[in-house]
Amino acid sequence: MSKPYHHGALRSALIDAGVDLARHGGPGRVVLREVARTAQVSHSAAYRHFTDREALLAEVACRARAELAAEMSLRLRNAREPRERLHAVGSAYIDFARGQPGLFRTAFGAHATPAEGTDSGAEPFAILGGVLDELHAVGLLSAERRPGAELAAWSAVHGLACLLLDGPLAADPNGAKFAIGRVHELIERGLLD
């Protein structure tokens, strides 16, 4: 159970409680009454900060994407070569999905966009775009292949992550390892010169 909130920080405490519930059960666990109970406040108090469940879920999804972005950034700090950096962001994405399935499902579920002015931190898609820009700058990604490269790479890695969580690869560790290697190889071969 979360710690009780401090005066003036109820909104943040509710989001923290929502993140905790999502971490352990995905977006289906993020319910305003349960979030309020976890934060040790009345459910009516939660409605003062969030008009409905979707508004809270959008904030929790934003926080989940920020955690993924932090993991991607951490991996990038340890990767020096441009190709290694592309592999690092893809590996971080897949590892996050496998290690934090509840947050991963929440991060990319069909939720409303957070309210304007919300500080969402770095977005995973923007981090991938920055790595692709680096590859273009050093001549490994041609100008012709650069437009839309984020969508191609992201789709491949996201699709694989979903297959690893909920598809036929979930119960096959050998198949998963092979698929991860192949997807990284295919992205590199498809995008880089």
Provide the pLDDT confidence category of residue 117 given band limits of 50, 70 and 90. very low
| Cα angle 66, 71, 76; round to 5 | 120
Domain 10-191 annotated CATH 1.10.1040.10: no
Per domain, the residue ranges of the chain are 10-191
The tens digit of pLDDT for each residue in 49-101 reads: 888 999 999 999 999 999 999 999 999 999 999 999 999 999 999 999 999 99
82-99 helix and 173-191 helix, angle to the nearest 10 degrees: 150
More confident residue, 47 or 79: 79
Strand, coil or helix: 164? helix
The tens digit of pLDDT for each residue in 140-178 reads: 999 999 999 999 999 999 999 999 999 888 888 888 889
What is the pTM for the complete model shown? 0.88
First to last CA, the chain: 51
